[in-house]
Structure 1
Amino acid sequence: MASRSSAFRASAIRSSPRRTFRQIIRVARLRRQQKPRGAARATLYKSCCKRTAGAAKLSAADPSTEVEMKEWARPSAMAAASAVLIFLSLPPAGLWWLAPLALAPWYLALRRVALRRGAGAAVLGGALVSYLGGFLTLALSCYWLGMVSVAGLLMAAFIGGLYYAAWGAATVSLLRWARGPAWLGAASLWCLTEYLRSRLGWLAFPWALLPHALYERPALVQAASLWGVWGYSWLLSAVPFALVDAALHLRLRRRLRAALAPAAPIAAVAFVLVFGALSTDVGDAGPIVTLGLVQGNVPQEAKEEAIAEARSYTTHGRSKVERVMDEHLALSERLLAGGPVDLLIWPETMVPGSMMQQPERFRRMVEFVERRRTPVLLGSERHCDGRFYNSAYLIGADGRVLETYDKMTLVPVGEYIPAQRVLALLALITSKLMPYETLDLSPGSRLTIFEVSGFRFYAPICFELSFDDQVREAARAGAQVIVNISNDA
């Protein structure tokens, strides 16, 4: 039996995707014959040995570890392929039409893993393969974190991959033991995974969710008013999973099951299309508001140096803070030379350090606003009672600070080191890997709705725009527009 087992593993190594598909079908057919489990497996091994005799012989000198590594190569490659497809479906590539197909290779990989002899090995394999897929998905889709901190990027991918590992283990368990439509359970588990990744305390990271690929397709996202992003998370996973199952049923000559498997997802897609076509009327336009956007394209390193300088109140030669401000003031003058605007918007922390604790720099901003009679929304730090906040300031046309907003959802590692007491060693290592000094910021406690000339808006700062519940709360509080100021400037 040992030689047959080796031959079977060798056949799996050398099999093409078509042969992988045939193996899955063969196992299903054997189970239908209601033979004892061991007999069914023995039959499968014997047939595989006959089919691969002469081409799949392994010498006794071949190490088993090499065989095991090769056996996992194809499922791992399939999961990695799905990670690439997810990345391509999201911005900046924006190939949104890949989203409904992106998970098909990953799901097929888990179906292959579920065929392993040992239940424990299969479940563990599903977890490892899916961890790889999840890690690569976040590492590719969150590449921008690397511009701020490579340590932050690796930590986000490392932690995020754990959610997908749990999904892979649960899905393999479902494929081995559960009755009923496998695609339905797998899609529900995927939806739960994305929900938990977006909600679990400081581990929450709702970035690169699969439904985000549809953000530029208004007709396709109208149904979000009924079931939110999570309905789309389920639908975009149910479609490829059901299609894979339908193909398997078709090869097994189960024509009725092949037709029924994708029926529910296809019906849901049809509903989304019809609902979107009937819901895209935006009604009458309100008053027109002109916004002026200023983005200085300041390198992240230069900005961090300016912030460090402002915090230490030291200057060597010409102030780095002054350089950042000079560039944005000059760009603002050029913009306003083309005509007046109702609100001028600068990016996040574009007055490095705390603007209110730098009288000369605050005076420059006030003089500019009063001379131009134009309100300005800008980012700067706020220091209060020994705490530091990443804040947005609204300066009115008369030079007064009308309102401030302190960022409520901070970036783990980038703006604070999470779980310092619980994971002290990890926090220390992470802080040492940061390219600049990390100052623990405090989260804000109040959601602010700004208002200029009857125009009401909410200004989430960078990362927190991805938290849909926070943005929804602002809309309920009366915000007419979402103005996101970001550090990508």
Structure 2
Amino acid sequence: MSDTFSPPAARAPLPLWLAAPAAAGAGVLMALAFPSTAIWPLIFVALPLLLSALRGRRVGGALLVGLAYGLLFFGLQVSFTARYLGPVPWIALTVVEGVLTAVALIPITLAYRWLPRVWPRSRAVALPFVVAGLWTLHELFLGNWPYGGFPWARLGMSQAEGPFAPVASWIGVSGLTFLMVALVALTIELARMRGRRRPALLIAPVMTLVVLAVTPLFPTAPSGEMRIAAVQGNGSTGYFDEREPYGVITAQTAATRTIGDAPVDLLVWPEGGVDYDPFQDEATARRLTRLVSRFDAPLLANTATERGDDIFNTSFLWTQDGEAGQLHDKRHPVPFGEYVPDRDFYYALAPELIGLIGREYTPGSNPPLVRVDGVGVGLAICFDVIYDEVIREGVMHGAEVLVFQTNNADFRGTDENLQQLAFARMRAIETGRSVVNVSTVGTSQIIRPDGSTVAGLDADEAGALLEDVELRSGLTAGVVLGPWIQLGMLVAAALLVAAGVLSRRRR
């Protein structure tokens, strides 16, 4: 059946020649909703543009529209990847994510075409919620595939400074994304159906807005304080920085000494804050032991470690005994940054770039948690902060505070550090935990459980943050229900596809 003779629910509100530019504009606006610009209300302009552009399309048209959106959005969102290696990694990541986005948005177009035919009364409420569920599934798809996925740009994460963030503490980041898209999709349907004729149709969008706007933070229980010093050494930690032997640990030590004689419960250094493996290099081990003895406090540090034939990105708790009995290895090494999947294939395509990546980091399997005097400290190393299961595992194992160690030196002068900092804020809200986000070169912050900032250090600034950080216990509903909500969306999507296929066959 052609679009001309399709029922009204399936007609495209925009011709294809206008839909593709509208989707491209939506991609630009969506990127501006995320840090560093962080104009979060633009999401509610970008989403209607994109959904209107997708509506009524056949698969080919939906693919074109989704590609226009995905390429512009990710091209702007991940432009920081071109900082040192030039345009090739940036273009490659943009194209991969853009194409996957285009493919993953096709089910939304099919839902707009099929569901009103299968269930004519679905347009008012059911169809918008199906669209919201399919959007959330597209984010989960990008966040898990390929090579572990790249869950960098989820709509819920845009609310770090927005009013809807507390909802994540009840239903997780994916649940927050779902409600935001549902609000937009419901409003679109209300406008299309001229809802003023049927005032009852106002109930669903109004109730969704009320839930988003007035939901308080899920309560967690205060369980004490820990005096934490987060140290940003601003050393030469970039991949292509010129380094002197022990230059990084020297910079970190100098910044740590600015604390003076103040009492400390835990020293925290960022990812890559130690040049050499202290389990292999005695000089590094001695330096660390002298430091923790000087402050009479353990040090949570990070470096590359070797065990057998494997190399890990490892965070470790160093004590006055000159030992690190507690380790956590990064769960998701970065593809084409910390290892090369299918190296022979990609080396044949870009030997000079692939040849720069000499190490092959192994994914860790140990829990993202260390204990300091009985207090659980949940961990996430750099980009692991964007993976739900890492954060959830730490909290489920008893973390009362979260520490995120990162090294942003390869992205100096870009907004990558601010994007990552927004994710840290959302994790504080989602889990009901204080967060210590510490970087080698910035931006470092200590964040309250409500997402507000206690103290911070700007990029390219050496120094130390010393604060009495609030500890919290108890699990938020967002932590407990988050994975079940995602599973429910997967099951619902499968049932929807099956119902659509059966209906088409019957017709």
Q: TM-score range by the shorter chain?
A: 0.7 to 0.9
Which of 204, 222, 238 matches 1:264?
A: 204
Q: Deviations over 1:390-426 (max 9, x none)?
A: 1112111443323221111111111111234xxx433
Q: State which of 339, 347, 365 in structure 2 corresponds to 1:445.
A: 365
Please tell me the residue identity of whatever aligns with 2:77.
S
Per-residue deviation at 1:378?
A: 1.2
Q: TM-score, normalised by structure 2?
A: 0.70
Q: Matches of 1:260 and 1:130 in 2, distance apart? A: 33
Structure 2 segments unaligned to the other structure (5+ residues): 117-121, 409-440, 442-507
Q: CA deviation at 1:220?
A: 3.0
Pick one of 45, 61, 64 that aligns with 1:128: 64
Distance of aligned partners of 1:201 and 1:77 in 2 relative to their CA distance in 1, 3 Å threshold: closer
Deviation of the 1:103 alpha carbon: 0.9
Q: Is the 8 A contact 1:75 1:110 kept in 2?
A: yes
Q: Deviations over 1:36-68 (max 9, x none)?
A: x9xx99xxxxxxxxxxxxxxxxxxxxxxxxxxx
User: 2:157 matched to 1:220?
Assistant: no
Q: Hey, what's the Cα distance between the residues in 1 that align with 2:136 and 2:202?
A: 18
How far apart, CA to CA, are the structure 2 residues paired with 1:443 and 1:486?
17
Structure with the bigger percentage of helix: 1
Contact 2:23 2:66 in 1 (8 A): yes
Quote the residue 2:226 is aligned against.
Answer: 289
Contact 2:179/2:212 (8 A) holds in 1: no
Assess if the C-alpha contact under 8 Å between 1:152 and 1:414 holds in 2: no
Residues 19 and 65 in structure 2, CA contact (< 8 A), matched pair in contact too: yes
Q: Is this contact kept in 2: 1:86–1:102, CA < 8 A?
A: yes
1:185 aligned residue: 130
Q: Shift of the alpha carbon at 1:369?
A: 2.1
Judge which range, 138-147 or 98-107, deviates more.
138-147
- Given the alignment of the two structures, is residue 161 of structure 1 paired with residue 98 of structure 2, yes or no? yes
Q: How far apart, in 1, do the equivalents of 2:407 and 2:201 lie?
A: 45
| Separation in 2, partners of 1:89, 1:340 | 41
Distance 1:355 1:152, change over 3 A: farther
Report the Cα offset of residue 300 of structure 1: 5.2
Mark the runs of 5 or more structure 1 residues left unpaired by the alignment.
Answer: 1-23, 42-70, 115-121, 307-318
Of the candidates 88, 92, 100, which is equivalent to residue 36 of structure 2? 92
State the shift of 1:206 in Å.
1.1
1:103-130 deviations in Å (ceiling 9; x for gaps):
111112223x63xxxxxxx421211221
* Paired letter, 1:414: G
User: Does the alignment pair 1:469 with 2:389?
Assistant: yes
Partner secondary structure for residue 350 of structure 1: coil
User: 2:19 matched to which residue of 1?
Assistant: 75
**Shift in Å, 1:437:** 3.1
2-structure distance, mates of 1:397, 1:262 = 64
Distance (whole Å) between structure 1 residues aligned to residue 200 and residue 336 of structure 2: 47
Q: Which residue of 2 aligns with 1:412?
A: 335
Give the distance between the partners of 1:249 and 1:454, measured in 2 at CA.
59
**1:367 is matched with which residue: 267, 290, 305?**
290
Distance change >3 Å, CA 359–CA 95, structure 1 → 2: same
Contact 2:26 2:69 in 1 (8 A): yes
Contact 1:387 1:442 in 2 (8 A): yes
Separation in structure 2 between the aligned mates of residue 471 and residue 393 of structure 1, nearest angstrom: 17
Alignment check: 8 A CA contact 1:350 1:378 kept = yes
SS of aligned partner of 1:451:
strand
Deviations along 1:139-161, whole A, 9 cap, x unmatched?
32233433465544433322222
Within 5 A, what are the aligned runs for 1:54-453?
74-111=18-55, 114=57, 122-147=58-83, 149-150=85-86, 151-179=88-116, 180-181=122-123, 182-200=127-145, 202-217=147-162, 220-250=164-194, 255-256=196-197, 263-276=203-216, 279=217, 281-283=219-221, 285-298=222-235, 301=238, 303-304=239-240, 320-334=244-258, 336-337=259-260, 339-420=262-343, 424-430=344-350, 432-433=352-353, 436-453=356-373
Residue identity matched to 2:208:
A
Compute the displacement of 1:190 (Å): 0.9
- 1:162 CA displacement: 2.8
The whole-number CA distance in structure 2 between the counterparts of 1:154 and 1:261 is: 44
Amino acid paired to 1:269: L
Listed one character per residue, the Cα deviations across residues 277-332 of structure 1 (whole Å, up to 9, x for unaligned) are xx45555x33221211111334554x5556xxxxxxxxxxxx62322222111111
TM-score computed with the length of structure 1 as normaliser: 0.72
The residue aligned with 2:475 is none
Counterpart residue type for residue 171 of structure 2:
W
The one-letter code of the counterpart of 2:39 is L
CA distance in 1 between counterparts of 2:72 and 2:236 reads 26
Q: Residues 203 and 367 from structure 1, CA distance in 2 versus in 1: closer, same or farther, beyond 3 angstroms?
A: closer
C-alpha contact (below 8 Å) 2:285/2:322 kept by paired residues? no
Q: Distance in 1 between matches of 2:19 and 2:200?
A: 27
Computing the radius of gyration over CA atoms, which structure comes out larger, 1 or 2? Answer: 1
Secondary structure of the equivalent of 1:442? coil
